[in-house]
């Protein structure tokens, strides 16, 4: 799915072995969304010291605009808050208007652009979200 839906037109860097490492890594969360017995979407997020990095997120075209990515991201947000991590960062392909609109709708804000970030051929847009704000529900750390 990553090759088909995210790394389209690029050399495939997200190999099965790389994904398997994330599945086994204690500081990564790998999620799949199942619908009609099919794998409709997936996400991979990795925790670091003070923030988490959303590496991959995709939903198959026939299942889009049903809130699946929103649900995947909301699961990841809950995991991050539970871990005491409130800042989520990501990069997306500059040409990906759908992803830009999606993250914008989910409260992510653009923080910059990385020129030729994707294998020297395409820019990345960097976006972040602080889960303590823009959430509708304030989730400040307790105590
Ligand atoms: C981006 C992507 C993950 C969104 O998945 P999705 O399941 O369709 O998203 P949702 O249904 O949860 O959308 C939630 C909201 O995001 C916004 N949104 C999602 N797709 C959009 C689009 N194509 N255009 C405009 N807004 C969009 C809308 O506000 C939407 O709410 P609404 O449907 O009530 O209007 C999906 O289009 C995708 O897999 N794209 C290819 C892979 C990719 O670019 N991944 C992200 C970078 S790794």
Q: What is the CATH number of the domain that holds 33?
A: 3.40.630.30
pLDDT-derived band at 135 (thresholds 50, 70, 90) equals low
Indicate the number of domains in the chain: 1
Report which protein residue has its CA nearest ligand 1's atom 1: 99
Ligand 1 contacts CB of residue 104 (under 6 A): no
Q: Is residue 125 part of a domain?
A: yes
Ligand 1 center to residue 137 CA distance, Å?
22
Burial (CB count within 10 angstroms: exposed 0-12, middle 13-18, buried 19+), residue 1:
middle
For residue 42, list its beta bridge partners.
32, 58
pLDDT in tens, 76-106: 999 999 999 999 999 999 999 999 999 999 9
Q: Is residue 141 part of a domain?
A: no
Q: Which of 4, 27, 78, 103 is catalytic?
A: 103
Ligand 1 center to residue 92 CA distance, Å?
13
Question: Is 108 labeled as catalytic in the residue annotation?
Answer: no
pLDDT > 70: what percent of the chain?
93
Phi, psi of 122 (to 5 degrees): -145, 140
Q: Is residue 139 part of a domain?
A: no
Question: In the prediction, which pLDDT does 100 show?
Answer: 97
Question: In the prediction, which pLDDT does 133 show?
Answer: 83
Q: Which of 8, 2, 3 is nearest to 121 (CA)?
A: 8
Q: Is residue 137 part of a domain?
A: no
What span, in angstroms and rounded, lies between the C-alpha atoms of 35 and 79?
A: 22
Question: In the prediction, which pLDDT does 45 show?
Answer: 98
Residues 24-53, mean pLDDT to the nearest whole number:
96
User: How large is the greatest C-alpha to C-alpha distance in the chain, in angstroms?
Assistant: 48
- Please state, as a whole number, how many other Cβ atoms lie within 10 Å of the Cβ of residue 44: 22
In ligand 1, the atom with minimum distance to the C-alpha of 92 is 47
């Amino acid at each position: 799915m990553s090759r088909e839906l995210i790394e389209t037109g690029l050399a495939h860097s997200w190999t099965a072995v790389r994904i398997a490492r994330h599945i086994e890594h204690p500081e990564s969360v790998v999620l799949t969304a199942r619908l009609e017995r099919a794998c409709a979407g997936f996400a991979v997020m990795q925790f670091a010291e003070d923030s988490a990095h959303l590496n991959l997120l995709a939903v198959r075209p026939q299942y889009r605009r049903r809130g699946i990515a929103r649900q995947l991201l909301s699961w990841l947000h809950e995991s991050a808050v539970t871990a005491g991590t409130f800042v989520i960062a990501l990069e997306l392909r500059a040409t990906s208007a759908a992803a830009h609109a999606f993250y914008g709708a989910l409260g992510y804000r653009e923080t910059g652009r990385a020129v030729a970030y994707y294998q020297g051929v395409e820019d990345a847009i960097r976006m972040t979200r602080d889960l303590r704000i823009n959430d509708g529900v304030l989730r400040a750390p307790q105590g």
